[in-house]
Amino acid sequence: MAGPVRSVSACFGVFCACFAPARRAPGGLSGGAGRAIGQPTAAPEGVPPMGAAPDHAYYNTAAFPISRASAPTEMLAEQRHQYILSEVNRTGALSVADLVRELRVSRETIRRDLNTLAGRGLLVTTHGGALSSDRSEPDLDVREAANASAKRAIGERAAEFVPDGASIIIDSGSTTHALARALIDRHRLTVYTNDWRIALLLGRRNENRVTLLGGELSDQEEATFGLDTVHQLSQYHVDYAFVGAGGITADGWLTDYTRMVAEVRSRMLTAAACAIVVADHSKFGRVTPVRINGFERARYVITELAPEKSIARAIAARGPELLVA
């Protein structure tokens, strides 16, 4: 009887093999009949076999197109980090709003990126953005090269306010220097400035009277700052003051990189019958460490490109009127 028993057992084994559910191969492909367990699955045509080195050409085929418009969204985290560091080192500061718009990712993603870079000591996070790790303003030659045509337009628009014979305060900086160039044909101006380039540009011509404000010569600016500058400004009252800034935050605050520069600019705003802030569009949404007091005393903010509506409303709530050159 031993022979028949072995025969029944063999038949039962064949029966189980026939009706057992097919094993699933990696990637969701069903195993074929008669294939031994553990035997590699043949990949569909055009798809790299399991375990093979990635074929990047395959992932860029028409089956998975990546349009140029959506490329920023698909940047790897390390690519975003490199972009953020490049921009923050170039401009000194960045806002979350700008990065969301440029990289086309969520605010949460940008905040995680900034926190990661801050954890490595590569930048400093702030409310609404980030600063370069040394919190210093970019060098003057870098700033003058950036948005040069925009600053020229702003300078020309601001110069329209100034008639012959006016008394004016002109702040230091690349945008205010563009204003000074636009005033080259004015006569009998009384000018107070802490920027010696502006003093040389407008002095000794057209019967102008130019006073170079005292103070300590800056390492990064062709200008003076300090307690002497602040004290001297307190002695003057002029028709117009033209003042720059390190940034204008998303909630409408005027800010700068150091306390002393912020104090000098604050005194300029309060020393004029009509104070005007000049700032190109890159300053909107930018957060720098120190608030400039007296922004509500400004009559106008002149720029070349209107900011987002939320920032425009925030500026209007502080008092100044926005003018686009």
pLDDT tens digits, 116-161: 998 887 888 877 788 776 555 556 566 555 678 999 999 999 999 9
Tens-place pLDDT, residues 53-74: 444 333 333 333 333 333 344 6
Q: With 70 as the cut, is the pLDDT of residue 253 above it?
A: yes
Identify the weakest region by mean pLDDT among 64-73, 193-202, 221-230. 64-73
User: Confidence band (pLDDT; 50, 70, 90) for 46?
Assistant: very low
> Which tops the pLDDT comparison, 220 or 31?
220
Whole-model pTM? 0.62
Please answer whether residues 169 and 233 qualify as being in contact, where contact means their C-beta atoms are separated by less than 8 angstroms.
yes
Sign of dihedral through CA atoms 167, 172, 176, 182?
A: positive
pLDDT for position 276: 98
Please answer whether residues 275 and 299 qualify as being in contact, where contact means their C-beta atoms are separated by less than 8 angstroms.
yes
The whole-angstrom separation of Cα 115 and Cα 105 is 15
User: What is the DSSP secondary-structure string of 181-194?
Assistant: HHTTT--S-EEEES
Please answer whether residues 260 and 222 qualify as being in contact, where contact means their C-beta atoms are separated by less than 8 angstroms.
no
User: Confidence band (pLDDT; 50, 70, 90) for 210?
Assistant: very high
pLDDT for position 225: 93
Q: If we measure between CA atoms, which residue out of 241, 225, 125, 242 comes closest to residue 178?
A: 242
Question: Phi, psi at residue 65, to the nearest 5°?
Answer: -70, 145
User: What is the average pLDDT score of the chain?
Assistant: 80
**140-324 CATH fold:** Rossmann fold (3.40.50)
pLDDT for position 95: 86
The whole-angstrom separation of Cα 196 and Cα 209 is 14
Instruction: Mention the CATH class of domain 71-132.
Output: mainly alpha
Please answer whether residues 138 and 90 qualify as being in contact, where contact means their C-beta atoms are separated by less than 8 angstroms.
yes
Which parts of 95-187 fold into alpha helices (H)?
96-103, 107-119, 140-145, 148-159, 174-182
Domain-wise residue ranges, the chain = 71-132, 140-324
Q: Which residues contact 317 (CB under 8 A, 6 or more apart)?
A: 252
The whole-angstrom separation of Cα 94 and Cα 109 is 15
Q: With 70 as the cut, is the pLDDT of residue 9 above it?
A: no
The C-alpha angle with vertex 296 and arms to 285 and 213, in degrees rounded to 5, equals 90
Strand partners, 211: 192
Q: Which residues contact 99 (CB under 8 A, 6 or more apart)?
A: 84, 110, 113
Tens-place pLDDT, residues 13-22: 444 444 444 4
Burial class (CB in 10 A: 0-12, 13-18, 19+), 5: exposed
pLDDT for position 219: 76
The whole-angstrom separation of Cα 164 and Cα 267 is 24
pLDDT for position 289: 78
Strand partners, 324: 303
Residue range 153-173: mean pLDDT, rounded: 97
User: Confidence band (pLDDT; 50, 70, 90) for 12?
Assistant: very low
